Structure 1
Amino acid sequence: MSEPDLTQPAPLGDAPVVLYASEAASTGAPHIETPVPYDAILLAGFGGPEGQDDVIPFLRNVTRGRGIPDERLEEVAHHYRHFDGISPINAQNRALKAALEAEVQRRGLGLPIYWGNRNWAPYLEEAVTEAADAGHSTLLAVATSAYSSFSSCRQYREDFARVLEGTGLGDTVTIDKVRQFFDHPGFVEPFVEGVREAVAAYLADGIEPSAMRVLFSTHSIPTADAQRSGPRDVDFGEGGAYAAQHRAVAEVVMAELAEAGAVVEWELVFQSRSGPPTQPWLEPDVNDVIAELPSRGVEAVVIVPLGFVSDHMEVLWDLDTEAMEAAEAAGIRAVRTPTPGVDPVYVSGLVDLIEERLNGTPTAERPHRTDLGPWFDVCRPACCENVRAGFKPAVSGVLP
C-alpha cells in the first residue's frame, strides 16, 4: 500500500479512511459495536534497556529523528545507570503478558498474545511478523498506556502502521486497538485502593486530613501536544484531553476517599519533563509542589503515579528517588502508592477490553468511571497530532 498524503484533514464530505483496519473498524465509527473475530492479541510496550551497554542505544531509539548528541543522552542515562542500566519495564511486561495469558485462558478465549516494544527488543516488527507467520492476521492491540496524547496513543498507532508498511504485511494483516482505558474500573480501582491505604496509615499515626496532601503525578508533555490531545472538535480546557482525563480520574479516586470519611486536598502535578527550557511543558512539577507544602501546613504527602501502568524508570527515579528526596528536604513524610502492575483487577480489566471488541459490546454497556468515557475505539480525525512532525500514517483512527 502506498503511503497516503496526511498533510491536510480529509474534507468533511469524504468517506472515512482507517488504515489497516478490520472490516468493522474500517467504517470509522467511534465505537465498534460489531463482533470481530480477532485471532491474536498484540501487547505493545515502550521498551527499556536491560544492561549498561543497552542504555545509549536505547535512548537513541527513543529520541530518533531529533538529532540529540550522545553527550546529552548521557545526562538522562544516569537514571538507568543508577539501576545497573536495567529498566524494570521489560520484566514488568513479561509478567503482564503471562498474567494476561492466564486470564485469557481462564475465560476460554483461545487467543495467543504477542509482545513487542517501540524502542527495544523485542521490537514490534518481531511480534507482528511472528503472529503473521503463525497464521494470525486479525490483531487487536493493547498498548501499555492509558491516556490520550501523541506519545501515549497516536505514536503507538503510527508504530503499528509503520511496522505493517515496513514488513510488507499491510495487505494481509489488520491491527485494531482497544480504547484508551484511563477510566476503566480495572485501571482506576488499584489507585483508589492505594490512596485509601496510604491515607488510613497516616490517620493511624495521628495525622489529620487537613495536614495531608494527595499529589497525582503523571508524565509532563509539551503544552502544544497536550492542547492537541483528543478529538479536535471538543474543548477539554487547559491541557487538552490528556490533562482532562487525569483530572477526571483523580476526582473519582478522591470522591471515593471522601465517601469513606476522609476529605483531603489534592492536586494534579507533572514530572519527567525533558524538553528545552524555552519550550512550554505541562506544570507544576511534582518536586516544586512538594517544596511548597510545609508553608501550607502539610505534614504528609501521598504521591500517586496516576499516569503510569507499572513501575517505569520514571517512577523509580523521578518519584521514588527525586520526589522522596524533595519530601525529606521539606521535612514532611511521603509515601508513593502502587501502580496497577499485574494487579488481578487491572489484568481482568484489560481482558474485559479485549472481550468488548470480540463481542461488539454496545457503547452504553461499557464500564467507565468518568463522564469522559467510554473513550473511542477508532480515534477521531486529527487527534493527538505531533506538533513537530505532523501527521503520519496511523492505524485505529480516521485519517489524518
Structure 2
Amino acid sequence: MPYDALLLLSFGGPEGLDEVRPFLENVVRGRGVPPERLDAVEEHYRHFDGVSPINARNRELIAAIRSRTDLPVYFGNRNWHPMVEDTVAEMARDGVRDALVFATSAYGGFSACRQYDDDIARARAGVEDAPRLTKLRHFFDHPLFVQANADAIRAVLTDGARAVFTAHSVPTSADAAAGVPAEGGHRYSRQIAEAARLVAAEVGLAEYDVVWQSRSGPPQVPWLEPDIVDHVEAVHEKGVEAVVVAPIGFVSDHVEVVWDLDNEAAGKAAELGMRFARAATAGPDPRFADMVVELIAEHVSGVEPRALGTVPSAGCTVNGAPCAVDCCLPATRPTRPAQRP
C-alpha cells in the first residue's frame, strides 16, 4: 500500500466553558476582530455549556472510517485540541512516512480549502522528518455526498415547504479569489450552488433557494447574501408557510449550525407563524464514511473518481502546496471570514 495512514483534519471546537475564549482567539488570530465580537459569539457557546458538537461528530466519523479500512486514522484540528501540529508530530514518532489527509470541507475557497493547505504546511514545518501529506480532493458533487444530503431533506420535507440550502457566507472578494478566472475556476459560491442543484435534483425539487449564514466582519464589507434569517422573512412575505433548511455547506453539526439555524432562523420562523424544519448534515450518514474510503481508494487503488457535477473541482494537494499559485487566495486581512463551529 503506497500510504500508511490517514489524517482527518478539521476546524476544531471547544469542549467546555473554559475552552471557549481561547478557542475563539485561535480562530480569529491575526485578523483584528474586536473583543466585543468575541463576547457575542462566546455567549452562543454558553447556551451549550461551552461544548461544540464538532469534535464528537469527527470522532464518530473516525470510528466509522476505521471500521472500513486498515489504515491507521489520526485526528488533528486547526483551532483546538487535538491540534494538527501535535498530531503530525505523533505521526512522525509512530513512523508514518506517507499519509493521506481528509479535510472536513467539501468545497474550495480560502477558509474551506486553502487554509487547510496552510495547516498542513505549518504542521510539517514544525516537525522533524514529518510525513508526506496528500490532501484528498473536493467532494461537493460526489454521488454519496449528494445522496446523504438528499435523504436528510426527504426525512423532514413536508407538502408545501420551501427548500432552502444554506452555507457559510464569505466576503465577496474572498469568493472572487476562489477561482481564476472567476467564472471558470472553482469559485466557492459556484460549488455551493452546484451541490444544491444536484441535491435538489436527487430529491425531485423543482424550486429551491440558496442563501447564506454566519456572516461576521465590518458591515461596510460586502458578503454573500441573502442571509438565512432575512430570507425566511422575505419568503413569508411572499406567502410561503413552511421552510426546510438544508445546511449544504457543512458536513457536521457545530455551534454555528445549531445556533444560526436551530435558534435564530427557527426563531424567526416561529415569530412569523411559519413551519420550520432543519435537515441533518451529511457527516453522520454511513454513506459519508463510505465516501471517505472511496476518496482514499482513488489514491491507493486507482479507483476512478466519481462526480455528478460540471463545476470545476480541485483540492488535492501535496505537503500543503496549493493546487494553483493564485487559487483560493485570502481576502484582505480585515475581511477574512471568521468561522465559529
One fold, TM greater than 0.5?
Answer: yes
Q: Partners in 1 of 2:305 and 2:107 — Cα distance?
A: 17
Aligned to 1:116, the other structure's residue is in SS state strand
Deviation at residue 234 of structure 1 after TM alignment: 5.4
Structure 1 residues 147-194: Cα deviation after superposition (integer angstroms, max 9, x where no partner): 11100110010011011112234xx52111000111111211111112
Q: Which residue of 2 aligns with 1:183?
A: 141
Q: Which residue of 2 aligns with 1:115?
A: 75
- The one-letter amino acid paired with 1:315 is V
Q: Which residue of 2 aligns with 1:284?
A: 226
Cα gap change, 1:69/1:357 in structure 2, threshold over 3 Å: closer, same or farther? Answer: same
Asked whether the equivalents of residues 190 and 338 of structure 1 are also in contact (C-alpha less than 8 Å), the reply is no
Residue number among 334, 337, 349 corresponding to 2:276 in the alignment: 334
Matching of residue 249 in structure 1 with residue 195 in structure 2: yes
Map 1:4-23 → 2, pairs under 5 A: none
- The one-letter amino acid paired with 1:225 is A
Map 1:380-399 → 2, pairs under 5 A: 380-388=324-332
Q: Which residue of 1 aligns with 2:336?
A: none
Residue number among 177, 183, 187 corresponding to 1:228 in the alignment: 177
Map 1:67-216 → 2, pairs under 5 A: 67-104=32-69, 110-169=70-129, 172-199=130-157, 202-203=158-159, 208=160, 212-216=161-165
Deviation at residue 129 of structure 1 after TM alignment: 0.8
Q: Partners in 2 of 1:267 and 1:236 — Cα distance?
A: 23
Residue number among 307, 326, 332 corresponding to 1:368 in the alignment: 307
Asked whether the equivalents of residues 107 and 138 of structure 2 are also in contact (C-alpha less than 8 Å), the reply is yes
Asked whether the equivalents of residues 252 and 369 of structure 1 are also in contact (C-alpha less than 8 Å), the reply is yes
Gap runs ≥5 in structure 2: 318-322, 334-341
Q: Partners in 1 of 2:182 and 2:315 — Cα distance?
A: 13
Q: Partners in 1 of 2:65 and 2:52 — Cα distance?
A: 21
Q: Which residue of 2 aligns with 1:61?
A: 26
Q: Partners in 1 of 2:58 and 2:237 — Cα distance?
A: 41
Cα gap change, 1:318/1:125 in structure 2, threshold over 3 Å: closer, same or farther? Answer: same
Map 1:244-323 → 2, pairs under 5 A: 244-258=190-204, 263-323=205-265
- The one-letter amino acid paired with 2:47 is H
Q: Partners in 2 of 1:75 and 1:63 — Cα distance?
A: 14
Residue number among 14, 17, 36 corresponding to 1:49 in the alignment: 14
Deviation at residue 345 of structure 1 after TM alignment: 0.7
Deviation at residue 384 of structure 1 after TM alignment: 0.4
Structure of greater Rg: 1
Q: Partners in 2 of 1:59 and 1:350 — Cα distance?
A: 29
Q: Partners in 2 of 1:342 and 1:331 — Cα distance?
A: 31
Q: Partners in 2 of 1:374 and 1:148 — Cα distance?
A: 8
Q: Partners in 2 of 1:236 and 1:87 — Cα distance?
A: 36
Q: Partners in 1 of 2:260 and 2:33 — Cα distance?
A: 22
Q: Partners in 2 of 1:150 and 1:142 — Cα distance?
A: 16
Asked whether the equivalents of residues 244 and 278 of structure 2 are also in contact (C-alpha less than 8 Å), the reply is yes
Aligned to 1:328, the other structure's residue is in SS state helix
Deviation at residue 236 of structure 1 after TM alignment: 4.5
Q: Partners in 1 of 2:269 and 2:109 — Cα distance?
A: 30
Q: Partners in 2 of 1:50 and 1:187 — Cα distance?
A: 27
- The one-letter amino acid paired with 1:140 is L
Alignment length (residue pairs) = 329
- The one-letter amino acid paired with 1:282 is L
- The one-letter amino acid paired with 2:38 is L
Q: Partners in 2 of 1:374 and 1:136 — Cα distance?
A: 29
Deviation at residue 124 of structure 1 after TM alignment: 0.3
Q: Aligned Cα RMSD in Å?
A: 1.8
Gap runs ≥5 in structure 1: 1-35, 105-109, 390-400
- The one-letter amino acid paired with 2:19 is D
Asked whether the equivalents of residues 215 and 223 of structure 2 are also in contact (C-alpha less than 8 Å), the reply is yes
Q: Partners in 2 of 1:140 and 1:296 — Cα distance?
A: 48
Cα gap change, 1:72/1:132 in structure 2, threshold over 3 Å: closer, same or farther? Answer: same
Q: Partners in 2 of 1:188 and 1:346 — Cα distance?
A: 10
TM-score, length-normalised on structure 1? 0.79
Q: Which residue of 2 aligns with 1:13?
A: none
